[in-house]
Amino acid sequence: MPETVAAVVVTYNRSRLLLECMAALLGQTHPLDRIILVDNASNDGTLEALEAAGYLRHPAVDLVRLPRNTGGAGGFHEGLKRAMEVGVDWMWIMDDDAEPFPDALEKMLPAFSRPGIGGVANLTLGLDGRPQLEHRGWLRLCGLTPRAHQAIDESRLEGKEMEISFASFVGLAVHRTAVERIGLPRRELFIKGDDLEYCLRLADLGPLILMPASKICHKDGVAAGYQHRRRFGMSSARVPIEKLWLNYFSLRNLIWMRRQRCGPVPALLFSIRQYARAALGILVFDSERWVRLRFYYCAISDAWHGVFDNERPKKLTAVR
């Protein structure tokens, strides 16, 4: 009997993008057996839009509605948990701002039969049609550079497939036996780095197989909203204080992973380097300096102490 495949999609307040994602999934040349849609308590009319489009009545759609926003990590935790409960074999993971090409799943299938692998990944493309190279690559967690993986080289995409060890949650497929062995995504990470942490565990099972012929458009639904500032002849793109809370998760989760996987000394050196860089930028370019300096200190401290209070970053950036 052929193995079953379900898409696991997490959404939060992006109904237009979600509808485009759903249409692409239901239009696959190799039909999906199920679409597990995890709604992170959206309040923008997502349910009404799904109902109007007929998706909630579609027999393949399985809606999991969460009572509160648990972030991407919490959503994928619940989505894979649901897939395991209903007995799905392959789980194809993505956010609502992903739109697979019509033959994306069909072109992944040859890799599904490969033994000894951690998972299978599509090639992600931006709206400009160019590969988003940073979404695929090889794990490099224990160095001092902020990026914890080495991105793929575009020149290597001409082959039929390649082995990698990192793929973001934009078109990564994992088998139920992998989930049985390594568990679910860590919901306490909330957002930023949950896919990296999961790939660290998948790498213990075997490589990921990147299928460049299988493509998925990633629309990056959230704009960064940087503010460009100049001081002393230098320029820098700065995060406004109301959006700084996102950086907390990036830093906390990455330092926590480095300490868990690489040990205290590499994690300490990385922490010092990151705080020094952040502090220098704050002192030169930013207002609300004390709030920002304390914000980064607390993110690092929480990583070291394993504190996963996901309400904390917005409290830290509240300017009085």
pLDDT tens digits, 62-108: 999 999 999 999 999 999 999 999 999 999 999 999 999 999 999 99
pTM over 0.75, yes/no:
yes
Q: Which domain holds residue 139?
A: 5-218
Q: Write the pLDDT tens digit of every residue in 111-143.
A: 999 999 999 999 999 999 999 999 999 999 998
254/148 same-domain check: no
Please give the tally of structural domains in the chain.
2
142/103 same-domain check: yes
The residue among 74, 63, 2 whose CA lies nearest residue 33 is 2
Lowest model confidence (mean pLDDT) among 49-53, 85-89, 169-173, 224-228: 224-228
22/147 same-domain check: yes
210/238 same-domain check: no
Q: Which two structure tokens, joined as six digits, stand for 102?
A: 């019509």
Question: Band of the pLDDT at 291, cuts 50, 70, 90?
Answer: very high
Of the candidates 190, 218, 246, which is a domain's last residue? 218
Of the candidates 160, 183, 218, which is a domain's last residue? 218
214/233 same-domain check: no
Residue 239 has pLDDT above 60, yes or no: yes
Lowest model confidence (mean pLDDT) among 156-160, 182-186, 243-247: 156-160
170/261 same-domain check: no
45/143 same-domain check: yes
134/234 same-domain check: no
Question: Band of the pLDDT at 221, cuts 50, 70, 90?
Answer: low
Report the CATH number at residue 87: 3.90.550.60
Question: Band of the pLDDT at 159, cuts 50, 70, 90?
Answer: confident
90/154 same-domain check: yes
Question: Band of the pLDDT at 177, cuts 50, 70, 90?
Answer: very high
Residue 320 has pLDDT above 60, yes or no: no
Average pLDDT over the chain reads 94
- pLDDT of 319 reads 58
163/246 same-domain check: no
Percent of the chain exceeding pLDDT 90 equals: 87
149/272 same-domain check: no
178/87 same-domain check: yes
Q: Average of pLDDT values for 280-295?
A: 94
